[in-house]
Amino acid sequence: MNSLILNPGREKSLQHRHPWVFSGAVERVKGEPAGETVAVRDCHGAFLALAAYSPASQIRARVWTYRESETVDEAFFRARLARAIGLRQDLAGETDGVRLVHGESDGLPGLVVDRYGDVLVMQVLSAGVEHWRDTLAGLLIELTGCANLYERSDAEVREMEGLALRKGILRGVLPAQLAIHEHGLKFGVDVEKGQKTGFYLDQRDNRRRIGELARDKDVLNCFCYSGGFSLYALRGGARSVLSLDSSAEALAMAKDNVRLNELPEDRAVWLEADVFKHLRLLRDQGRSFDLIVLDPPKFAPTAQHAAGAARAYKDINLWALKLLRPGGLLATFSCSGGVSAELFQKILAGAALDAGATAQVVGHFSAGLDHPAVLNFPEGEYLKGLLLRRTE
Ligand code: SAH
């Protein structure tokens, strides 16, 4: 096995168990094929980690293990996958839509696996996982007992790894209709054409919380996708739910989901609209709401995009606060790894100030337990949210 030697002083982050080696930290490495395992060493040759080499990426290597005695082979991945899958047992009664593997946070950098009923969806996001893709696919079938595995490696981050986008069936077949159960609601999931792997599993518990707060309220759900928060609000007894999304496909799925659950269709309005523009329009129309959900897409994938993202977050939150009746609640989220919880709260404070609103923080949101974040890898804690009450 070849070694990757770090520049002097660049061993610190690995010693703190942060699993990435950036290109600028690398002193030298023998021309290694993409995805191969290398031994990462400090400038004196001392062992630090075994990692997957990724020649095209700014993240030049991702750690598999900090133990020199381990071998990165099929048995290694069987153990890692079995552990990740085992840690999700606690969710068994709540849902059959579960994230089984969450990348770095499960010791498998670059691998995401979601289970929807008896279909697995795998995302291969790094050169290391690409190298082991076939082994991993076989192990996933073996360990879950699921016969069907679909690959959704069409996320743009693959391009940063020098990998082409790809999707398709890897094992078994896709059923004509696929639906999951989540806290007693049913959601159709389109793993081929849906966003990401088909569903936003990370918001499961937050959706339930919104459902519990919705009774007799006029609800506005912005960026509704396939109707997640809207369905919970309808089940929770909302007086009305207005849902906005720019994707016609997402809205069609959302309407199907309302029917699938036999929820009151007459209380729901779905609009294909750009949230940035539509919030202003609602204000012009003199509309107001008791409960607003803002769950936008990732505006800042990395910290470099934070400034532009901050403007976008501020804008939608400012207008949402204006539309909120006094005493009303705003559940506002950011899934940007590049925006910390601290920065997010600052942005919201600025938005409230400019909206002429006073708001209290009455709750915090994070991703569910199948989206863990290891302590030494803050990037893993991407989803954050606040529940605000407008007091004036
Ligand atoms: N809350 C959803 C997930 C939201 S994902 C759930 O619980 O499942 C973000 C959604 O925002 C996507 O459906 C995407 O189509 C939509 N979107 C992105 N930009 C938008 C814009 N400018 N206006 C409206 N919707 C937008």
State residue 110's pLDDT score. 97
Which H or E run contains 364?
A: strand 359-366
Ligand 1 pocket member 298 (CB < 6 A) = no
State residue 254's pLDDT score. 98
State residue 337's pLDDT score. 87
Q: Which domains does the chain have, with CATH numbers?
A: 3-65 (2.30.130.10), 74-171 (3.30.750.80), 200-390 (3.40.50.150)
Ligand 1 pocket member 200 (CB < 6 A) = yes
What are the structure tokens assigned to 361, written together? 């923080």
Pairing state between β 166-171 and 119-124: unpaired
pLDDT in tens, the chain (392 residues): 899 999 999 999 999 999 999 999 999 998 778 999 999 999 999 999 999 999 999 999 999 999 999 999 999 999 999 999 999 999 888 999 999 999 999 999 999 999 999 999 999 999 999 999 999 999 999 999 999 999 999 999 999 999 999 999 999 999 999 999 999 999 999 999 999 999 999 999 999 999 999 999 999 999 999 999 999 999 999 999 999 999 999 999 999 999 999 999 999 999 999 999 999 999 999 999 999 999 999 998 777 888 899 999 999 999 999 999 999 999 999 999 889 999 999 999 999 999 999 999 999 999 999 999 988 888 888 999 999 999 98
**Do residues 243 and 173 lie in contact, with contact meaning Cβ atoms separated by under 8 Å?**
no
If one residue of 193, 245, 291 were mutated to test the ligand 1 pocket, choosing by the most ligand atoms within 8 A of its CB, it would be 245
Ligand 1 pocket member 250 (CB < 6 A) = yes
State residue 30's pLDDT score. 83
Pairing state between β 179-182 and 185-188: antiparallel
Interacting residues of 34 by C-beta distance below 8 A, sequence separation 6+ = 53, 54, 55, 56, 127, 130, 131, 162
Interacting residues of 245 by C-beta distance below 8 A, sequence separation 6+ = 223, 224, 225, 251, 254, 270, 272, 273
**Do residues 290 and 217 lie in contact, with contact meaning Cβ atoms separated by under 8 Å?**
yes
Pairing state between β 47-53 and 20-22: unpaired
Ligand 1 pocket member 295 (CB < 6 A) = yes
Ligand 1 pocket member 244 (CB < 6 A) = yes
Strands (E) located in 91-154: 97-102, 111-116, 119-124, 148-153
Q: Distance of alpha carbon 227 from its chain centroid, rounded?
A: 17
Longest CA–CA separation in the chain, Å: 70
**Residue 354 zone, left/alpha/beta (φ > 0; ψ -120 to 50; rest):** alpha
Q: Other CB atoms closer than 10 Å to residue 164's CB: what's the count?
A: 10
**Do residues 304 and 338 lie in contact, with contact meaning Cβ atoms separated by under 8 Å?**
yes
The amino acid at residue 358 is T
Distance between CA atoms of residues 105 and 380, nearest Å: 7
Residue 227 CA to ligand 1 center (angstroms) comes to 10
Distance between CA atoms of residues 34 and 57, nearest Å: 10
State residue 392's pLDDT score. 87
Which of 146, 222, 224, 335 is flagged as catalytic? 335
Distance between CA atoms of residues 357 and 347, nearest Å: 14
State residue 41's pLDDT score. 97
Nearest protein CA to atom 13 of ligand 1, as residue: 225
Distance between CA atoms of residues 121 and 64, nearest Å: 22
Nearest protein CA to atom 11 of ligand 1, as residue: 223
DSSP structure class, residue 24: G
Residue 335 designated active-site? yes
As to burial, measured by CB atoms within 10 angstroms (0-12 exposed, 13-18 middle, 19+ buried), residue 368 is buried
Residue 66 CA to ligand 1 center (angstroms) comes to 38
Torsion, Cα 92 205 180 253, to 10 degrees, reads 180
Ligand 1 pocket member 297 (CB < 6 A) = yes
Residues belonging to the chain? 392
State residue 379's pLDDT score. 83
Q: Other CB atoms closer than 10 Å to residue 220's CB: what's the count?
A: 31
**Do residues 386 and 365 lie in contact, with contact meaning Cβ atoms separated by under 8 Å?**
yes
Q: Count of H helices and E strands in the chain? A: 11, 20
Q: Distance of alpha carbon 97 from its chain centroid, rounded?
A: 14
Nearest protein CA to atom 6 of ligand 1, as residue: 228
State residue 92's pLDDT score. 85
Distance between CA atoms of residues 262 and 358, nearest Å: 38
